[in-house]
């Protein structure tokens, strides 16, 4: 039975029956590949970030998982486990486009509450659908619609519960293609076997704090009081979590974009510093185009290099808020020179296995108007900064136009290497596999992010 605090705050309201449907697409990236390539249906498939035998899978179909292949499995190891494995390089723009098709189909049946990621979303059931029988019928209707109107390869597990948190936990119970009803009277017993770290909001750090408080399983977590949960989490998020777990509706708080970045695992050809630098510059130029797309300015840049056989090198620079890619590249080159000095001091023994770049200190123009400028920056310098930013915005628009033309022609067999992009001569020759936005599992990029 639901535990009730003495005086719940006004912002938390007891849910009315099965208020939410949570939908989790199974092995989404691999399923899209099977949808687009019918010969792959029923076959083991993995999706990789780039074409390399040394990279790891970022997604595995359920047919591949039977062989012990999972996210992170190296391609060469996957081939040993399953010689028939199909290895598909990721197509993040396609996954976003298919995500939108799927969401449009579901929204014909239910209003969305929140899109949590590329493969997860919550929807609100009407008052007439909040009993188990009508809720189950709605879920089955959505499953049929997805199979008939989009494609049978794109299976989803669905959870029905009083809150979005409980509905997500229900969706996790049966995969693939599951349908689970989780009523409050079923708790805590129905989830007693669920590891704490499988629960959204309970990461490794929170799990360690829970353990120190004597909470090591779901039942003990359930029996906490909200103020105790708040103390363990160290913020109001613990209290919000408690109410969501016990069937109280909690409004999601808006998030503010704090950084824009890209990363890549490098193939052996790109491990030398001169080749890795070209990749880092390409990632930074991509991040800068996204920055301008969001109409934001960056006040800093961070670079992180994953070294082989082990180790990491990191650096950070701050500068006047800008949209100017030339300014960003100058900071990157300064940091790269620092890395080369570090490398020389270490006798050059390390190779660069991965590159990450982040633009941070983000601000909208209206926010910048409230900030004091650099007292040592001349008016001419600031005018030059604005002029170069306008130049880069024009480049973004031309590349977007070129990409739109490419998309129209691609149906006629035009392949990706023929896509013409305006860029720096120093970046020519870089494999397009290193370019393009990637999908973080907690973020769905705008389609426009793939146009630059």
Task: Identify the CATH number of the domain in which residue 387 sits.
Answer: 3.30.1490.100
Q: Is residue 161 domain-resident?
A: no
Global pTM value: 0.67
In a domain? residue 72: no
Give 120-161 as a DSSP string: EEEEEPPGGG-SHHHHHHHHHHHHHHHHHHT-TT--EEEEEE
**Mean of the per-residue pLDDT values of the chain:** 83
Would you say residue 32 lies in a domain? Answer: no
Asked if residue 220 is part of any domain, the answer here is: no
Per-residue pLDDT band at 377 (split at 50, 70, 90): very low
**Domain-embedded: residue 311:** yes
Count of the separate structural domains present in the chain: 1
pLDDT of residue 119: 93
Integer Cα distance of 387 and 368 in angstroms:
17
What's the rounded Cα separation, in Å, for the pair 358 and 261?
4
- Whether 118 is covered by a domain: the verdict is no
Digit-coded pLDDT (tens) for 159-172: 999 999 999 999 99
Most confident of the following: 18-27, 255-264, 409-418: 18-27
Taking each helix axis as running N to C, give the angle between helix 92-106 and helix 132-149, from 0 to 180 degrees, rounded to the nearest 10: 130
Q: At what angle do helices 379-410 and 325-345 cross, to 10 degrees?
A: 90
Q: Phi and psi dihedrals of 165, rounded to 5?
A: -65, -50
Band the pLDDT of 303: cuts 50, 70, 90: very high
Looking at per-residue pLDDT, the higher value among 309 and 385 belongs to 309
Give φ, ψ of 262 to 5 degrees.
Answer: -145, 155
Under 8 Å CB-to-CB from 104, ≥6 apart: which residues? none
Give the model confidence (pLDDT) of 268-302 as tens digits.
888 999 999 999 998 998 898 888 888 889 999 99
Residue 445 lies in a domain: yes
Model confidence at 385, in pLDDT bands (50, 70, 90)?
low
pLDDT at 317 over 60: yes
The Cα 369–Cα 294 span in angstroms is 17
Domain that includes residue 275, residue range: 259-450
For position 125, what pLDDT does the model report? 92
Q: How many helical (H) and strand (E) elements, i.e. helices and strands, does the chain have?
A: 14, 14
Q: What confidence tens digit (pLDDT) does each residue in 10-39 have?
A: 566 677 889 999 999 999 999 999 999 999
Sign of CA dihedral 204, 210, 211, 217: negative
Contacts of 451 (CB under 8 A, 6+ apart): 399, 400, 403, 404
Tell me if 395 is assigned to some domain: yes
């Amino acid at each position: 039975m639901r535990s009730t605090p003495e005086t719940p705050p006004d912002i938390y309201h007891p849910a009315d029956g099965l208020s939410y449907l949570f939908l989790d697409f199974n092995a989404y990236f691999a399923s899209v590949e099977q949808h687009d390539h019918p010969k792959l249906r029923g076959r083991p498939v993995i999706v990789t970030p780039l074409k390399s035998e040394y990279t790891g899978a970022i997604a595995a179909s359920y047919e591949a998982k039977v062989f012990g292949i999972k996210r992170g499995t190296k391609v060469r190891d996957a081939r040993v486990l399953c010689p028939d494995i199909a290895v598909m390089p990721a197509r993040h723009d396609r996954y976003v486009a298919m995500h939108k098709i799927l969401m449009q189909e579901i929204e014909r049946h239910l209003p969305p509450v929140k899109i949590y990621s590329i493969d997860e979303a919550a929807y609100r059931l009407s008052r007439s659908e909040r009993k188990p029988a009508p809720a189950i019928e709605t879920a089955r209707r959505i499953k049929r619609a997805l199979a008939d109107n989009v494609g049978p390869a794109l299976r989803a597990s669905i959870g029905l519960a009083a809150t979005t948190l409980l509905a997500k936990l229900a969706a996790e119970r049966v995969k693939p293609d599951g349908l689970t009803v989780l009523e409050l009277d079923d708790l805590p017993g129905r989830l007693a076997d669920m590891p704490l770290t499988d629960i959204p909001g309970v990461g490794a750090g929170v799990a360690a704090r829970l353990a120190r408080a004597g909470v090591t399983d779901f039942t003990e977590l359930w029996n906490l009081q909200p103020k105790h949960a708040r103390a363990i989490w160290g913020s109001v998020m613990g209290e919000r979590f408690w109410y969501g777990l016990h069937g109280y509706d909690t409004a999601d708080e808006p998030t503010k974009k704090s950084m824009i970045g890209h990363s890549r695992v490098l193939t052996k050809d790109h491990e030398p510093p001169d080749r890795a630098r070209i990749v880092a510059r390409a990632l930074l130029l991509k991040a800068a185009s996204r920055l301008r797309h969001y109409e934001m300015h960056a006040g800093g840049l961070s670079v992180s290099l994953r070294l082989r056989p082990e180790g990491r090198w990191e650096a950070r620079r701050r500068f006047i808020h800008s949209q100017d890619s030339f300014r960003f590249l100058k900071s990157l080159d300064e940091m790269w020179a620092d890395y080369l000095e570090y490398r020389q001091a270490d006798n050059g023994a390390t190779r660069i296995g991965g590159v990450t770049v982040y633009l941070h200190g983000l601000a909208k123009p209206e926010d910048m108007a409230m900030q004091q400028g650099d007292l040592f920056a001349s008016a001419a310098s600031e005018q030059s900064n604005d002029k170069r930013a306008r130049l880069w915005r024009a480049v973004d628009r031309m590349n977007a136009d070129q990409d739109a033309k490419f998309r129209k022609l691609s149906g006629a067999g035009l392949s990706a290497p023929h896509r013409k992009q305006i860029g720096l001569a120093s970046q020519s020759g870089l494999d397009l596999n290193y370019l393009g936005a990637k999908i973080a599992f907690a973020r769905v990029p705008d389609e426009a992010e793939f146009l630059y």
